[in-house]
Structure 1
Amino acid sequence: MRIRLALVALSMLVASPVLAQSVLTPKDRAAAFRAAGFRFAAGKWSACGDPGTPSYSPGQIETVRDLNGDGRPEAVITEGGTYCFGMTGTGYTIVSKQADGTWKNITGGTGIPNFLATKGVGGWPDIEIGGPGFCFPVERWNGKAYVLNRHQYDGKACRPQM
């Protein structure tokens, strides 16, 4: 249920003309994928590699928007499949266009990123990492990296079961 809600939220985010503030040129798309560690082969972008399983979906840019308010776009790149990402079935990478025009890998992992209103250093939004279960990690930007800040479910503190 929670995964489905996160996917609906992600699809609304992608479809929103207000949030899709930037359309990437083919050159920027390729640079963003490369910064995220993806390789282009057989007509698709992949970081995990297509294992030939039915659940696999190649890399795609889900969202392009300015996450931290610096006037430059960030891109959320996803890839799917249980072979690579277990029960969650999705991996993500967030890359950011730098002032010099290059792209930089900011963070990534297994799960579905949900950007929250709370913020870390430099205006970067906290990220709730959705997946199976009922208690999700929330990571906060500390100026150098996204690190675990808390766990929550529906905005309320929780303790993950071990």
Structure 2
Amino acid sequence: MHLIAASTLALAFIAVPADAQAQLSSVDRAAAFRAAGFKQVSGQWRACDAPRGSVYEPGKIEEIRDLNGDGRPEAIITEGSSFCYGGDEVGFVIVSKQANSTWKLIVGSEGIANVLKEKGTRGWPDIEIAGQGFCFPVQRWNGKEYRTVRFQYQGKACRRPR
């Protein structure tokens, strides 16, 4: 995923490969969105209840890939709204297809998920949560949940201002 300036949300949301959503069946797409907490409203997948007239980008599947090496897909789903996500103007959710074919929520946050090469428990990659500023949290899977383990900017350690 590529980092964009949050202020460009209204004009150019994060680029999505045209086939990202097509990589899943319609049943799996719907199940992934529901696991992420989205509801279909007027043909759009929404988790945010942004007021009419506000800048809003409906939920979309940004990326489908096997993040943890278990042979099943994960979906990174994004939605854009300053009303719901503040100054970052975007939020993400990662859901994972389980062995029983259901989808499970793994993590969600305001900001942009940047999947890193470093790995936590069971092969889950670290995730940098980018947004406003110059020092971003990096979360690692501990076997139960993603937790912040450090802060970085452009791959270098930093201290988050208080």
2:102 and 2:79 map into 1 onto residues whose CA distance is 22
- Say whether 1:40 aligns with 2:65: no
Quote the residue 1:88 is aligned against: 88
Q: How does 1:73-84 map to 2 (within 5 A)?
A: 73-84=73-84
TM-score by length of 1: 0.88
Root mean square deviation, CA, Å: 2.2
1:23 and 1:67 map into 2 onto residues whose CA distance is 15
2:27 and 2:112 map into 1 onto residues whose CA distance is 26
Residue correspondences, number: 155
Change (3 A) 1:54 1:5: closer
Quote the residue 1:118 is aligned against: 118
Matched residues, percent identical?
57
- Say whether 1:67 aligns with 2:67: yes
Structure 1, unmatched stretches of 5+, are: none
1:53 and 1:151 map into 2 onto residues whose CA distance is 36
TM-score by length of 2: 0.88
Task: Name the SS of the counterpart of 1:31 in structure 2.
Answer: helix
2:53 and 2:137 map into 1 onto residues whose CA distance is 28
Quote the residue 2:23 is aligned against: 23
Structure 2, unmatched stretches of 5+, are: none
2:131 and 2:53 map into 1 onto residues whose CA distance is 20
Cα deviation, residue 5, structure 1:
6.9
1:118 and 1:5 map into 2 onto residues whose CA distance is 25
